[in-house]
């Protein structure tokens, strides 16, 4: 199950939920739960300052509830929380020439990759994140075609 909480209206909730559900299944974590929280820049800045010591807004933060086990997944049913700034996502979407919906889906994929135990300290490590973000974009495109 994926719970989506939003501080303001977000018209693509159902498709975001469907895409992240499908991506979890593709990544072997279909039975795991998570929460996606959609916030504004002041809220994510506050979280970023409190948890990472960075006094600036960011696009996405991930809060895993447990460390991954040897198979790569936490043993608990709930992976954790993904927090996405809709303000930052909108700016990034405009800068890259794509939709807010696509940006939010790729940020959710990025957050999910962190919840599954991955990090990106090197350029090589970014490969997994890029692959999962591309998978999410493809899943979004397929869901749009079916709609």
Domain that holds residue 6: 2-146
Rg (CA), the chain: 14
pLDDT of residue 72: 56
Query: CATH number, domain at 123?
Result: 3.40.390.30
Q: What percent of the chain has pLDDT over 70?
A: 93
Q: What percent of the chain has pLDDT over 90?
A: 65
Number of domains in the chain: 1
pLDDT tens digits for 81-115?
A: 999 999 999 999 999 999 999 999 999 999 999 99
Helix locations, the chain, DSSP H? 13-26, 41-52, 86-96, 100-115, 126-146
78 in a known ligand binding site: no
Rounded to the nearest angstrom, the gap between the alpha carbon of residue 92 and the centroid of all alpha carbons in its chain is 15
- pTM check: above 0.85: yes
51 in a known ligand binding site: no
Residue 41: CB atoms within 10 Å: 18
pLDDT tens digits for 13-49?
A: 999 999 999 999 998 888 999 999 999 999 999 999 9
Q: CA 93, CA 112: separation in Å to the nearest integer?
A: 19
Decide: 117 and 66 in contact? Cβ < 8 Å. Answer: no
């Amino acid at each position: 199950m994926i719970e989506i909480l939003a501080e303001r209206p977000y018209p693509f909730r159902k498709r975001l939920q469907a895409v992240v559900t499908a991506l979890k299944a593709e990544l072997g974590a279909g039975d795991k739960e998570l929460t996606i929280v959609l916030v504004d820049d002041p809220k994510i800045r506050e979280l970023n300052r409190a948890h990472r010591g960075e006094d600036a807004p960011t696009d996405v933060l991930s809060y895993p509830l447990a460390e991954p086990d040897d198979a790569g997944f936490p043993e608990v049913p709930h992976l954790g929380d993904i927090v996405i700034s809709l303000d930052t996502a909108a700016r990034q979407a405009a800068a890259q020439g794509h939709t807010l919906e696509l940006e939010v889906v790729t940020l959710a994929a990025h957050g999910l990759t962190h919840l599954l135990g991955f990090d990106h300290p090197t350029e090589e490590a970014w490969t997994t994140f890029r692959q999962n973000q591309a998978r999410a974009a493809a899943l979004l495109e397929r869901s749009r075609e079916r709609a």
